[in-house]
């Protein structure tokens, strides 16, 4: 199909469906769809001898070979890779095989063989996280993990204070606010400075700690889903600990794309996602509770109290196959290398961010400080801060230019458009975004 015909077909498909941004349907018939076998995976590329993450980040031949491990839609230029991470072809094939095996074995498999294989996946994950196996328990994602930690945190009494920021995830903010009616605490909200800097961000949290002497709990989002800022979590956590304040860390977007492990966060309670930047099947996350702190999180309804972290989560019957395929996803993650992955994502992010800074009429919500930079960044047109402004712009990018981004609300400064490349994103997709931004800003 010619490019113009494809654009027209996409417009007809989206407009006729009446779809709103955020629920834009993809065209049917792509490889790997339900009921179809996934394409075979080519051999995993090997990085050139002596290549550093910085040099490898610009090696398009290598990253094209990495991209060949994935089957990604060409209906649009996909720059919303923060929703969840696509499984590679090999992980998808493994997941399909595991699903068929579980379905065939039914209760015999689930009750007899699965428990040991589940623990194997748990051990592999703990090793990747840099923690002990008895410090993690699986969940269906970071949202469930963080709800367990926030709602279950037991060291609060009426009149204490808890703190969240405008960069935190919506459901986590809701859960923090819920503590007011549940525990009788004072809920404090702060906003991050914009433009943000390392010192200004730390200062915002320090000021809140100083202003609220009964502050007992802070929610910290490692990499936020709105503008992608990397929060100096370890720094803030140390300052909080000195004041007797606990932190709960949301690293849904941190682990897997940043070269770090859980102890680096200096936090005792962490919510983790494994289907975003690790590329496991959707529905896999984890709770981390440091040894000796389990009793500070309430056991799940009716579960016995004690030091067994598994009593803090109860999700019912699991998606067996999703957890069984987790080691395969961790294998691919290790084969690429997290330092290499981070460098490539930073390179793609900087390619569009620095280009967008040169476009008159565009505000870029990103820092040049590498300590605060992730794959995720955001922009808005100057003066266009309302939700309807960014929804309209994201829809225009999708329909007119075939570029799929997502509007994000919640920042005190206003709404923005989030842009997130993946490790399979070619430079040409970044350049197409910049060309489209030039045109919409000039209109």
pLDDT, residue 16, reads: 45
| Prediction pTM value | 0.91
Measured between alpha carbons, how far is 289 from 287 in angstroms, rounded to an integer?
7
pLDDT band at 29 (very low <50, low <70, confident <90, very high): very low
Residue 33 has pLDDT above 60, yes or no: no
State whether 260 and 237 are in the same domain: yes
Pairing of strands 269-273, 285-289: antiparallel
Q: What residues make up the domain containing 244? A: 99-332
326 located within any domain:
yes
Report which of 52, 410, 89 is spatially closest to residue 226, judged by C-alpha positions: 410
Phi, psi of 259 (to 5 degrees): -80, 80
Q: What percent of the chain has pLDDT over 70?
A: 91
State whether 82 and 183 are in the same domain: no
Measured between alpha carbons, how far is 284 from 106 in angstroms, rounded to an integer?
21
pLDDT band at 22 (very low <50, low <70, confident <90, very high): very low
Residue keyed to tokens 């019957």: 317
pLDDT band at 3 (very low <50, low <70, confident <90, very high): low
Provide the 10 A C-beta neighbour count for residue 90.
21
pLDDT in tens, 83-112: 999 999 999 999 999 999 999 999 999 999
357 located within any domain:
yes
State whether 49 and 118 are in the same domain: no
State whether 349 and 413 are in the same domain: yes
State whether 69 and 125 are in the same domain: no
Report which of 378, 398, 429, 380 is spatially closest to residue 20, judged by C-alpha positions: 398
Listed in sequence order, the residues at least 6 apart from 254 whose beta carbon sits closer than 8 Å to its beta carbon are 222, 223, 230, 260, 265, 374
Provide the 10 A C-beta neighbour count for residue 172.
22
How many residues are present in the chain? 443
Measured between alpha carbons, how far is 99 from 95 in angstroms, rounded to an integer?
6
Beta bridge partners of 288: 136, 270
Residue 384 has pLDDT above 50, yes or no: yes
CATH code (residue 131): 3.40.640.10
pLDDT band at 6 (very low <50, low <70, confident <90, very high): low
State whether 231 and 310 are in the same domain: yes
Report the interhelical angle of 326-336 vs 89-108 (nearest 10°).
160
Residue 165 has pLDDT above 70, yes or no: yes
Q: Are 272 and 252 in contact (CB under 8 A)?
A: yes
The two structure tokens encoding residue 142: 């970071």
Listed in sequence order, the residues at least 6 apart from 216 whose beta carbon sits closer than 8 Å to its beta carbon are 155, 156, 160, 161, 162, 185, 244, 245, 246
pLDDT, residue 90, reads: 96
Measured between alpha carbons, how far is 72 from 88 in angstroms, rounded to an integer?
9
94 located within any domain:
no
What counts of helices (H) and strands (E) characterise the chain? 14, 13
Alpha helices by DSSP H, 222-264:
233-242
Phi, psi of 390 (to 5 degrees): -75, -35
Measured between alpha carbons, how far is 70 from 90 in angstroms, rounded to an integer?
8
Residue keyed to tokens 């402004």: 389
pLDDT, residue 373, reads: 97
216 located within any domain:
yes
**For the chain, how many structural domains are there in total?**
2
Listed in sequence order, the residues at least 6 apart from 264 whose beta carbon sits closer than 8 Å to its beta carbon are 130, 234
State whether 118 and 164 are in the same domain: yes
CATH code (residue 363): 3.90.1150.10
Instruction: Give the domain-ending residue among 279, 312, 332.
Output: 332
Instruction: Give the domain-ending residue among 292, 312, 332.
Output: 332
Q: Are 53 and 345 in contact (CB under 8 A)?
A: no
pLDDT in tens, 46-55: 999 999 999 9
pLDDT in tens, 330-376: 999 999 999 999 999 999 999 999 999 999 999 999 999 999 999 99
92 located within any domain:
no
19 located within any domain:
yes
Please report, to the nearest 10 degrees, the dihedral formed by the alpha carbons of residues 89, 92, 93, 99 taken in order: 180
pLDDT, residue 302, reads: 84
State whether 326 and 342 are in the same domain: no
Report which of 55, 84, 62, 119 is spatially closest to residue 335, judged by C-alpha positions: 62
93 located within any domain:
no
pLDDT mean over 272-299: 97
pLDDT mean over 199-213: 98
State whether 273 and 392 are in the same domain: no
Residue 43 has pLDDT above 90, yes or no: no
Residue 41 has pLDDT above 50, yes or no: yes
Residue 18 has pLDDT above 60, yes or no: no
Measured between alpha carbons, how far is 400 from 21 in angstroms, rounded to an integer?
13
State whether 307 and 199 are in the same domain: yes
pLDDT in tens, 150-159: 999 999 999 9
Instruction: Give the domain-ending residue among 332, 351, 385.
Output: 332
pLDDT in tens, 259-272: 999 999 999 999 99
State whether 78 and 146 are in the same domain: no
Measured between alpha carbons, how far is 75 from 400 in angstroms, rounded to an integer?
13
91 located within any domain:
no
State whether 161 and 271 are in the same domain: yes
Measured between alpha carbons, how far is 338 from 258 in angstroms, rounded to an integer?
7
Residue 26 has pLDDT above 50, yes or no: no
């Amino acid at each position: 199909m010619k490019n113009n015909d494809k654009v027209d077909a996409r417009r007809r498909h989206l407009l006729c469906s009446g779809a709103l941004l955020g629920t834009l349907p993809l065209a049917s018939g792509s490889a790997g769809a339900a009921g179809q076998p996934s394409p075979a995976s080519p051999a995993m590329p090997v990085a050139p001898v002596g290549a550093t993450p910085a040099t490898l980040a610009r090696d398009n031949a290598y990253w094209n070979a990495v991209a060949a491990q994935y089957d990604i839609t060409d209906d649009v230029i996909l720059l919303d890779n923060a929703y969840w991470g696509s499984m590679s072809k090999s992980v998808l094939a493994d997941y399909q095989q595991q699903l068929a095996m579980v379905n065939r074995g039914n209760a015999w498999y689930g009750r007899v063989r699965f428990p040991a294989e589940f623990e194997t996946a748990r051990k592999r994950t703990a090793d990747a996280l840099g923690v002990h196996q008895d410090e993690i328990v699986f969940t269906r994602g970071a949202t469930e993990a963080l709800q367990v930690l926030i709602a279950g945190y037991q060291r609060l009494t009426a009149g204490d204070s808890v703190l969240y920021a405008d960069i935190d995830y919506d459901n986590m903010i809701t859960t923090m606010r819920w503590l007011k009616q549940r525990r009788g605490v004072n809920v404090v909200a702060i906003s991050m400075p914009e433009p943000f800097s390392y010192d200004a961000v730390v200062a915002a949290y320090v000021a809140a700690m100083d202003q609220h002497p009964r502050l007992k709990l802070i929610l910290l989002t490692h990499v936020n889903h709105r503008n992608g800022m990397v929060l100096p979590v370890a720094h803030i956590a140390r300052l909080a600990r000195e004041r007797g304040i606990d932190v709960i860390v949301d690293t849904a977007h941190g682990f897997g794309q940043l070269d770090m492990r859980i102890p680096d966060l200096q936090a005792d309670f962490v919510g983790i996602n494994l289907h975003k930047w690790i590329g496991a099947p959707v529905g896999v996350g984890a709770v981390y509770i440091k040894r000796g702190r389990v009793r500070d999180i309430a056991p799940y309804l009716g579960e016995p109290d004690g030091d067994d972290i598994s009593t803090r989560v109860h999700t019912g019957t699991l998606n067996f196959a999703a957890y069984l395929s987790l080691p395969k996803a961790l294998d691919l993650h290790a084969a690429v290398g997290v330092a290499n992955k981070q460098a490539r994502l930073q390179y793609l992010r900087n390619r569009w961010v620095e280009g967008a800074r040169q476009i008159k009429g565009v505000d870029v919500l990103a820092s040049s400080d590498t300590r605060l930079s992730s794959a995720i960044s955001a922009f808005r047109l100057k003066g266009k801060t309302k939700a309807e402004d960014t929804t309209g712009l994201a829809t225009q990018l999708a329909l007119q230019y075939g570029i799929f981004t997502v509007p994000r609300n919640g920042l005190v400064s206003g709404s923005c458009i989030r842009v997130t490349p993946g490790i399979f994103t070619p430079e040409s997709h970044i350049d197409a975004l910049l060309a489209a931004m030039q045109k919409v800003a000039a209109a």
